Amino acid sequence: MMNSIRNQFPILKTRVRSLPRRGGAKSLVYFDNAATTQKPEIVLRAMDKFYRSKNAPVHRGVYTLAEAATAAYENVRDQVRDFIHAAHREEIIFTAGATASINAVVAGYVETSLHRGDHILLTDMEHHAMIVPWQAAAERKGLEVDFVPLTSDGRVDIGVFKKALAKYRPKFVGITHVSNVLGTVNPVREMIAAAHKIGAIVLIDAAQSAAHLPIDVQKLSCDFLVFSGHKLYGPTGVGVLYGRKELLERLPPFIFGGHMIEEVTREKTTYAPLPAKFEGGTQPVAEVVGLGAAISFVQGVGFNAIQKHECELSAHMLKGLKVISGLTLLGPATTQGRIPVFSFTISGIHSHDVATLLDREGIAVRAGHHCAQILHSNLSPDASVRMSLGVYNTVGEIDRTIAALHKIQEKFYA
């Protein structure tokens, strides 16, 4: 199965680092999937085909081509609804990505429902995309942003979370489904239930989970959920904001302009019903079509197969990392309750050096704080190296990486 999946991703055939002194070109090992994933042929072809045969403005034309473009766009809304098991298609809003979706929810809530002194509860594990919009809003509106501390191995303890709920009585809770640094899956269902008990609204950041775990917004009972297309084997520039219908109906629009209106007069504007209310301006139609193809790709492989494969990758990676001396893995070293994202430091070697030396072997990893400075300040003094794997990665690529890490470690300690 693995070869048939890999063959669908043309970029994985790339050879990099063609320096003759260093042994010539190396086949690419792409381990930066938490930042962005590569795109399968089905996505590339869908977008190409859209531009070649269906491109026209959506929702606005009565001619055949415009109707075809609108149908292509709106079909993806149904696909996303099915993908995350939303109750209604109008609960699916297309945005520019997870960051744009979070910003939209924050802006709407701050404007309509939050008042000076209200508390917002986040965890120490959040990506900056969740922290920064709330902090900026808090400054403007006089809100308090509180953080749930993590356990020493980087988990959210449900007991600690419940205590924070009782202490701060937040109006709004923002939780990442999966950590983009540690790969750990949070107990979001329990967390949502606990937050609802005190009347808080909950936003789930599914940017890191959407490509790895099935999502059912009704079973989770979340109020809002966001993700990006480009971390799900789809294109950049498109993402999803899911919101419960009654909440979206109360939320004000965040982009004002064409398409999102019902009527405009000199005196005032009334807004279109959902979902148009949130989709002002010309939408990224080809990207939405690409997102639909990406969802078809993921559903074609199936989450059972994805999880089985990724669990094998995690077990192999953890075994390999364990024997590299001086290496500290951030977060828990378990195969269960995680996606294949691994961040680590090697004592005495700066993480940026590790990443640069891995690149010389053709291995693409990330070094830095991974847009999670609060998490990093808890777990590691400065940067870490992150290796994030996806459905097309192999045990052979892990072996190559572990061998390269041994070489780096020996070189620095020689």
Ligand X SMILES: Cc1ncc(COP(=O)(O)O)c(C=O)c1O
Indicate which residues carry an active-site annotation: 371
> Residue 190 and residue 249: Cα distance in Å, rounded?
26
Nearest-approach distance from CB 306 to ligand X, in angstroms? 18
Buried b (16+ CB within 10 A) or exposed e, 251-269: bebbbeeebbbeeeeeeee
Residue 123 parent element (H or E): strand 119-123
CA neighbor of 343 nearest in space, from 378, 306, 308: 378
Instruction: State the CB neighbour count (10 A cutoff) for residue 59.
Output: 18
Nearest-approach distance from CB 209 to ligand X, in angstroms? 9
CA neighbor of 210 nearest in space, from 229, 238, 191: 229
Q: Which is nearer to ligand X, 127 or 316 (CB)?
A: 127
Two tokens at 138?
A: 């808090």
Q: Which is nearer to ligand X, 97 or 331 (CB)?
A: 97
Nearest-approach distance from CB 233 to ligand X, in angstroms? 13
Q: Which is nearer to ligand X, 180 or 351 (CB)?
A: 180
Nearest-approach distance from CB 106 to ligand X, in angstroms? 13
**Chain positions contacting ligand X, by CB under 6 A:** 97-99, 127, 129, 176, 180, 205, 207-208, 228, 230, 371
CA neighbor of 83 nearest in space, from 188, 184, 216: 216
Helix (H, G, I), strand (E, B) or coil at 30: strand
Question: Is the torsion defined by CA of 125, 128, 133, 136 positive or negative?
Answer: positive
Angle at 184 between CA 183 and CA 190, to 5 degrees: 145
CA neighbor of 171 nearest in space, from 149, 139, 143: 143
Q: Which is nearer to ligand X, 103 or 351 (CB)?
A: 103
> Residue 306 and residue 199: Cα distance in Å, rounded?
36
Nearest-approach distance from CB 323 to ligand X, in angstroms? 29
Q: Which residues contact 251 (CB under 8 A, 6 or more apart)?
A: 104, 105, 108, 109, 112, 243, 278
Nearest-approach distance from CB 205 to ligand X, in angstroms? 5
Q: Which is nearer to ligand X, 349 or 372 (CB)?
A: 372
